[in-house]
Homo-oligomer: A and B are copies of this chain.
Amino acid sequence: MGKIWDKIRGIRDRSRPFCSVIIPAAGASIRMGGGSKQLMDLCGAPVLMRTLCVVDRAERVDEIIVATREDMLETVAEMCSRAGLQKPARVILGGNSRLESVLAGALEADPRAELLAVHDGNRPLIRPEEFDEVVRHGAITYAVAPAIPVSSTIKIVDENMRIKSTPNRSELYCAQTPQVFQADILKAALQSAMDAGVSVTDDCSAVERLGKDVYLIPGDPENIKITVPLDMVIAEAILKRREREQT
């Protein structure tokens, strides 16, 4: 997976740049049946609280900023204090779109932040070591995300659902988060996408749009995004298996 990474892995990692994490957790969850998926209980703790705790345990994280909706501000602030986070954490008002929320978070980051990591509030199953690994690569390449190979056959269709093409599956990857960026590049990319009225489904896309190189590194299939009710079942099964493995 990427010859360039074999070289990069050899680079001695002397730098330890300041990294702020932005967690967009503002979306009304239509696919989840209305309520907020971030507040749903997953084996005894809300999804978002689990996400916060894992991110807090990542060694390369210096600050956490959660961008949420107005009606969730208080709940999320209380969740942060209940979680007993070690790192400085702030809850801010997000925007009307994911893009706006991430940009709001980026502009609130500590001025010392050289790196900005964006992580979905509904990806609670990332492991702290994996989070650190992405941040470490972000410090080398300036724009990086974890990704897993696509196992299904993907079709590109026209407006009549006629297949236009079947892209070569071996070149397709499914992007996850955290996505880690050099702070100035992310801010410029988000502002530019916003000004142009472009909608992007992830933050890498905004940076790609500016013609900057963005790299992928191997992700973990268990780092799922909780989007539909079935995902809660999967997440529970993964957590229970991990608990069994620990004992």
Binary contact track A142-165/B, C-beta < 8 Å → 1, others 0 = 000001001111111111111111
Which residues from chain B contact A161 at a C-beta distance below 8 Å? 1-2, 4-5, 173, 215-217
Q: Which residues from 1 to 15 on chain A have a C-beta closer than 8 Å to any C-beta of chain B?
A: 1-5
Partner of A216, one of B163, B214, B238: B163
Which residues from chain B contact A215 at a C-beta distance below 8 Å? 160-163
The distance in angstroms between the C-alpha atoms of A153 and B194, with both chains bound, is 19
- A202 in the interface, Cβ–Cβ < 8 Å? yes
Q: Which residues from 173 to 227 on chain A have a C-beta closer than 8 Å to any C-beta of chain B?
A: 173-175, 201-202, 204-205, 208, 213-217, 221-222, 225, 227
The distance in angstroms between the C-alpha atoms of A3 and B158, with both chains bound, is 11
- A230 in the interface, Cβ–Cβ < 8 Å? yes
A201-B169, A230-B237, A234-B230 as given contacts; A174 in contact with B159, CB under 8 Å? no
Interface-centre pick from A3, A157, A165, A216 (highest chain B CB count, 10 A): A157
Copies per complex of this chain: 2
Residue of chain B at shortest CB distance from A168: B156
Residue of chain B at shortest CB distance from A156: B171
Question: Is the pair B214, A162 in contact by a Cβ cutoff of 8 Å?
Answer: yes
Which residues from chain B contact A169 at a C-beta distance below 8 Å? 201
The SS class assigned to the A binding surface is: mixed
Interface size class of A (residues with CB under 8 A): 35 or more
- A140 in the interface, Cβ–Cβ < 8 Å? no
Question: Is the pair A147, B151 in contact by a Cβ cutoff of 8 Å?
Answer: no
Q: Can you identify 24 A-B contacts, CB atoms within 8 angstroms?
A: A2-B160, A2-B161, A3-B159, A3-B160, A4-B160, A5-B160, A147-B155, A150-B154, A153-B201, A153-B204, A154-B172, A154-B174, A156-B167, A156-B171, A161-B215, A161-B217, A162-B215, A164-B171, A165-B208, A167-B167, A169-B201, A230-B234, A230-B238, A234-B237
Give me the 10 closest cross-chain CB pairs, A-B, nearest first.
Answer: A2-B161, A233-B237, A4-B160, A153-B202, A152-B174, A153-B201, A153-B175, A163-B214, A161-B216, A166-B205
A contact set with B: CB distance below 8 Å: 1-5, 147, 150-167, 169, 171-175, 201-202, 204-205, 208, 213-217, 221-222, 225, 227-228, 230, 233-234, 237-238
